[in-house]
Amino acid sequence: MIAILSFIGITALLSGEGHLLLRGITRRNDAVTIALSYPLGTLTNALVFFLAHILGLRWTLLSIGSIHGVLIIALLVWFLTRGRRKTAAEHERIPSSHLSPILASVCGIVALVALLSAALYALAFPTFFWDAFTNWAMRSMQSYQAQSLVFDGIAKAQYPILIHSLHVVFALPGGWSDRLANAATFLLSTTSLLTLFLLIRRQYGNRCALIGITLLLAIPLVVIHLRQGYADIHVTLFILLASLFLHEHVTSGDVTSLTISGLLAAAAAWTKLEGLYFALLPFIALALVTSVQRKTLHKGIRRGILPACVLGLGWVAFLLASGLPLSPHGSSVAFHPEAIRLVLVQLFVTGSFGVHWYAIALGIVALIVVTKRNPRTLLQDTPSLWGIGSLLLVLAIYLCTKEVEFLVSGNTFGRTALIPTMLLTQALWLRFGSKE
């Protein structure tokens, strides 16, 4: 009973922080804002724990609770001073769309099976996957017991701490619980997916949203990752959300979407180091390009790039100051042509991605054909640009660096390739499938 009450309480605290932050930025209260509250609350929580570490405070209920208390009061004051937005209506106008009952049923079944099975394994079974016993839940538990961020004896001490701080904040009231830790991160996955659904629905309608989410949940490796244990699914979902909010900014001109996109890119950078290369840097590049295009460079920097950098580069700056490397795997550059076959096997032969990459390949060909006719359309299509950029980066990493050994062993490639797979699936569906 106490565990349930503390879980609800901590969830409410993080969601409250996230919600106040979003309300202050957007001055809008809608379904997307509510759904995104918890994911953004995990970012504020990570910053609270980082601040406590920098100030030398022990990670106790009192110290962390006090910082959260100060933060929530500050956010409340800021929100109240911002006032309400003078827009047409509080409720959303959802674009109309027709969805056939058969298609809705099939998509619904596929999505439900994926989510319910993930819930079963995340909540009813104990932690199962190996890296959770070393880099994730183990480090979180050690830090909770030590009441500070543990570095000694940790194989990959440079990993950012959004997931670790999320684990610890739920352990502070009642003690460490493996199930509670997985429940906290499962809630992050589900609220992120819900936000994705609502955001697509807001821009394209019910049909596009349902099929878009189903396409993501139809990726077999995604279903396995939703069982929790690793941070790859969380960094990927943050990246997806960031790309969609940036797309909303480009299509609607709403600068608050740019700000939220930057926050989500920062959250990705706090989740895994991949977030720096696949989220923060691409966001900065795309935000600069689109701001120059729209002749709103100063606004773009002030409202988007600057907050993202200030919030997202904190951990990177800390690593550099501590002398820790930015990658746990080392770096050396050399082209490995023999690895091309392995990449093709991973994407087109194994079951990790189903037949998604065949569809993505067709979509990329279509994109090239359309872009040749009208090159300016590609600059507007930030999700596709982000997806193609991430694909090129993954190929560069696994074909041209020492990471090739993890491709050979089948260890990390699939997890890293989740980023371009989900980005391109989403981007190409919105580009070509959203029109009925």
Partner 1 sequence: MRRLIRLRDENVTNVCMVIDVFRAAISLRRTRGGSIWFSGIVAFQLQLGITIALAILLSPTVWAQEGIPYELEGERMATPTEIQREVESAFERSDSNGIEQESSLFTFRDGGSHLRIRYSSANPVPVLYGPFDGRATFDPLLTILPPSEEGDVLIPLLASPWWNPREYAFVVRTYNLKSANPTMHKVTLESVASAGERIGAYASHLAADERFIGTSINELSGYSIGGFSFTILLGTALLLITGIWLALGLPKRLLPTIALVFILVYAARFSLNIVRSAAADVSAWRTDGTYADAIDMYPLIQKLKLELVISSRPESVAVCGTFATPLRYFLYPTEIKTMGDGWDDATLVALFAPWSAEGGLVTCDGKSRPGEIIATFPAGSAIARLHSLP
Is residue 137 part of the contact set for partner 1 (CB under 8 A)?
yes
Whose tokens are 């209506």? That residue is: 89
> Rounded CA gap, 431 and 105, in Å?
23
Is residue 128 part of the contact set for partner 1 (CB under 8 A)?
yes
Secondary structure of residue 401 in the 3-state scheme:
strand
Is residue 429 part of the contact set for partner 1 (CB under 8 A)?
yes
The 189-218 site mask, x for binding partner 1 (CB under 8 A), equals ----------------------x--xx--x
For 117, 165, 187, 253, 318, the CA distances from 184, given in Å and listed in that order, are 17, 11, 5, 34, 26
In the complex, the smallest distance separating the C-beta of residue 135 from partner 1, rounded to whole angstroms, is 11
In the complex, the smallest distance separating the C-beta of residue 374 from partner 1, rounded to whole angstroms, is 16
Secondary structure of residue 197 in the 3-state scheme:
helix
Is residue 153 part of the contact set for partner 1 (CB under 8 A)?
no
> Rounded CA gap, 225 and 360, in Å?
21
| Interface residue with partner 1, options 158, 220, 371, 380 (CB under 8 A) | 220
| Interface residue with partner 1, options 134, 251, 252, 377 (CB under 8 A) | 134
Judging by beta carbons within 10 Å of its beta carbon (0-12, 13-18, 19+), is residue 51 exposed, middle or buried? Answer: middle
> Rounded CA gap, 221 and 421, in Å?
10
In the complex, the smallest distance separating the C-beta of residue 275 from partner 1, rounded to whole angstroms, is 19
Secondary structure of residue 333 in the 3-state scheme:
strand
| Interface residue with partner 1, options 4, 8, 61, 113 (CB under 8 A) | 113
| Interface residue with partner 1, options 40, 150, 356, 381 (CB under 8 A) | 356
- Site for partner 1, residues 387 to 426, rule: CB under 8 A: 409-415
Is residue 340 part of the contact set for partner 1 (CB under 8 A)?
no
In the complex, the smallest distance separating the C-beta of residue 6 from partner 1, rounded to whole angstroms, is 21
**Half-sphere exposure (Cβ direction) of 22: Cα atoms closer than 13 Å:** 26
Is 286:382 a contact under the CB 8 Å cutoff? yes
Stretch that binds partner 1, among 45-53, 103-111, 330-338, 382-390 (CB under 8 A): 103-111
Is residue 179 part of the contact set for partner 1 (CB under 8 A)?
no
In the complex, the smallest distance separating the C-beta of residue 355 from partner 1, rounded to whole angstroms, is 4
Is residue 178 part of the contact set for partner 1 (CB under 8 A)?
yes
Alpha-helical (H) ranges within 253-328 are 255-271, 274-275, 281-293, 297-300, 306-312, 314-322
| Interface residue with partner 1, options 80, 292, 340, 355 (CB under 8 A) | 355
Alpha-helical (H) ranges within 27-157 are 31-54, 61-82, 101-124, 137-146
Residues within the interface to partner 1 (CB under 8 A): 106-107, 109-110, 113-114, 117, 120-121, 124-130, 132-134, 137-138, 141-142, 145, 178, 211, 214-215, 218, 220-221, 223-225, 229-230, 346, 348-352, 354-359, 362-363, 366, 409-415, 429, 432-433, 435
